């Protein structure tokens, strides 16, 4: 595909009409040839047949109905302990993108990286560490033109269902611009999310904060309480009132509970 926008915002941009998973393909390519796939290399596809979401959930799309994009980052001088901010960074970039495409809608980030429009999921992010531990592939999917019947769950939506006709290129360009701007600041501040303003921006957009949530963690452990903050490592802090205790969640599924 020949892109009509200035693709030099990233260092490499490849497009395929169809693939199983852009994340799987990019992880394999980056591991096989580090030189050919530098920092800020991008692989995007018009259709995925074996996409994956969190907890191994399948995520597929018919041609032209969604944006599937994976970005390889090889951040220099960013400690591995700060890599946990990268999925949140991508989720924030997609939240900014959807907000720009749906300026009248209530668009929020659900920790760590789902994007919701009026509490309905429109985008998700899945990140994978490279085998050498020195890079991360961050995959994102954005629902562009699906009808309700084409979406995997009832609590999902697409740009088309929200009244916006947005093409593949426009959504890709907007997302890449937002991602790269946030990423360059993050790297410039050596992964310090407070110094670059990432934590402040993520908390401002995070619809999980101030809500009662259920955190489902590995091993089927569950915690129910009020999400109160994102800590300095990108973890969600949950207050469990009856226990007068704070729980810190590093990984898990977050369910927004109904307002009282």
pLDDT over threshold 60, residue 54: no
Would you list the DSSP string of 207-229? TTTTSEEEEEETTTEEEEEEEEE
CB 190 within 8 A of CB 196: no
User: For residue 199, which of 170, 165, 223, 230 has the smallest C-alpha distance?
Assistant: 230
The whole-number pLDDT of residue 55 equals 46
**What is the band of 258 on the pLDDT scale with cuts at 50, 70, 90?**
confident
First-to-last CA distance in the chain?
A: 49
Residues near 223 by Cβ (< 8 Å), separated by ≥ 6?
214, 215, 217, 238, 240, 247, 249
Distance CA 253, CA 235 (A): 12
Mean pLDDT across the chain, nearest whole number?
Answer: 92
pLDDT digits (tens, 9 = 90+) for 132-189: 999 999 999 999 999 998 888 889 999 999 999 999 999 999 999 999 999 999 999 9
User: For residue 206, which of 90, 118, 115 has the smallest C-alpha distance?
Assistant: 115
pLDDT digits (tens, 9 = 90+) for 224-234: 999 999 999 99
What domains lie within the chain, and their CATH numbers? Answer: 7-204 (3.30.930.10), 209-256 (2.30.30.100)
């Amino acid at each position: 595909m020949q892109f009509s926008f200035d693709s030099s915002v990233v260092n490499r941009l490849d497009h395929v009409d169809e693939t199983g998973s852009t994340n799987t393909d990019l992880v394999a390519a980056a591991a096989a040839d580090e030189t050919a796939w530098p920092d800020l290399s991008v692989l995007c596809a018009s259709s995925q047949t074996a996409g994956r979401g969190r907890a191994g959930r399948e995520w597929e799309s018919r041609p032209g109905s969604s944006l599937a994009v994976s970005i390889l980052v090889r951040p220099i001088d960013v400690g591995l302990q700060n890599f946990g901010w990268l999925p949140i960074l991508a989720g924030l970039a997609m939240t900014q993108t959807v907000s720009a495409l749906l300026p009248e809608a209530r668009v929020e980030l659900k920790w760590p990286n789902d994007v919701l429009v009026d509490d309905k999921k429109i985008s998700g992010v899945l990140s994978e560490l490279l085998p050498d531990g020195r890079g991360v592939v961050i995959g994102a999917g954005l629902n562009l033109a699906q009808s309700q019947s084409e979406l995997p769950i009832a609590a999902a939506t697409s740009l088309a269902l929200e009244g916006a006709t947005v093409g593949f290129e426009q959504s890709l360009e907007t997302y890449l611009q937002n991602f790269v701007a946030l990423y360059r600041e993050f790297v410039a501040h050596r992964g310090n999310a407070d110094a670059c303003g990432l934590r402040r921006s993520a908390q401002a957009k995070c619809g999980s904060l101030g809500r009662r949530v259920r955190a489902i963690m590995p091993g089927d452990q569950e915690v129910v309480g009020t999400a109160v903050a994102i800590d300095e490592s990108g973890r969600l802090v949950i207050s469990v009132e009856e226990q007068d205790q704070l729980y810190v969640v590093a990984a898990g599924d977050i369910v927004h509970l109904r307002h009282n």
